[in-house]
Chains A and B, each alone.
Chain A
């Protein structure tokens, strides 16, 4: 049976309901919340501040340090808190995805800490995390080339879908699920991150990137609106 209708009734190129808010962590230098339906990510940015131990310092430019973590209650089975193989990987991926957008050459010997927390997970957490982190970095006043926008494209059986949820990620049947996480820098037209989990042909991958580009444009508008509204509120 082909995947002709999405389990939650969405259109194939439709993302889940997106919510974005800036300034959710008062003690951080910058913070943001971003959610795709039931997937919620909170990012907090601290710095630039001095990096210790000293041997990690780079005298040429600043360092971005990301820390992704799922909370123990974020999924229905309790997840063991603390760093794991998976969260370490996602932290590193997030760092690479965002490194292209930040301009931290002016802050030698310093570090910018980005903490991403997932209080509720329903697949595509890394994408929500990158979106939140990117908004938090802008909110913290870090010079940037662009706001990074991330989305996951799935190939469920033979159908390409935008923003994979847990039910789709676990889909069994036909060719099975393929999950592609993509991060775009839309205004400067660059891709900063692409990850593929599953099987896909070259032609379909190109299709998926195209679909992702269109989807991130919509998400970008939501991020932009959230950042602008944070200031409008104080007028």
Chain B
């Protein structure tokens, strides 16, 4: 393994760092001189800051996240959507940058349809979505499946390197929502399945170094 420093896995309650020179970051807490982990994950130390990147758990919505949602209900002024978390999310008609017939909202998005959206605000009551942004809107056809939302950054890769390889190798259009929903559309169903397998391969092997090369090998192996 070419890892410079094997990244440490911690469990809740475990001491991550000792001494007052460290600062507790995400998912950690200070107890006297020690910094304790609060979640199951990987330790990342950047300078003084100690934080934990969780390995599991539900999607934590943030403003500005692009997600894939499924319409669960239609109201008089918008759509209720399921984005894989406990809270309700709502897409108001006012946040759709397009002329719509208010009496027939199902024409634009019907119950069960998938769409990409951006999170406009996160409140205790629920989440507001918006379609204002490039490339947001209904997803026609293709296939949708769920991956662990904590693995999304790995699937996308540094500046989208990983997802680009999968797209190029399979000739598919792929959208990965921050909430762990993935949408794939290709010309042939075989390519879609191939892309899906590659993404699932990435989520299983997140901790391996040089994963982009492995994925390339994997994709060529499946194809040939």
Contacts and interface: CB of A to CB of B under 8 A. Distances in A.
A231 B207 contact: yes
Contact of B27 (A143, A227, A231): A143
B223 interface: no
Interface string B34-71: 00101111100000000000111110000000000000
Contacts of B124: 59, 108
B209 to A, nearest CB: 9
Contacts of A49: 86
Interface residues of A, number: 35
Interface string A216-235: 00000001100110011011
B56 A139 contact: yes
Nearest to B209: A235
A148 to B, nearest CB: 9
B207 A235 contact: yes
Most central of A29, A110, A186, A231 by chain B CB within 10 Å: A231
Interface in B1-26: 1, 9, 11-15
Given A29-B56, A143-B39, A187-B36, A228 B86 contact: no
A144 B86 contact: no
A96 interface: no
Contact of A142 (B9, B57, B86, B204): B57
Contact of B86 (A50, A101, A139): A50
A227 B58 contact: no
B150 interface: yes
B12 A146 contact: yes
B55 A141 contact: yes
A47 B207 contact: no
B69 to A, nearest CB: 16
A142 B41 CA distance: 11
Contacts of B13: 101, 144-147, 185-188
A140 B149 CA distance: 12
B86 A138 contact: no
Interface in B155-211: 204-208
B103 interface: no
Contact of A29 (B42, B58, B205): B58
A109 interface: yes
B207 A107 contact: no
Nearest to A109: B86
Interface of B: 1, 9, 11-15, 27, 29, 31, 36, 38-42, 54-58, 86-87, 124, 150, 204-208
8 contacts: A47-B86, A141-B58, A141-B150, A145-B12, A145-B29, A187-B36, A231-B9, A234-B206
- In the A-B complex, list the 8 residue pairs whose CB atoms are closest, starting with the nearest: A141-B57, A146-B13, A141-B56, A144-B12, A187-B13, A110-B86, A138-B40, A50-B86
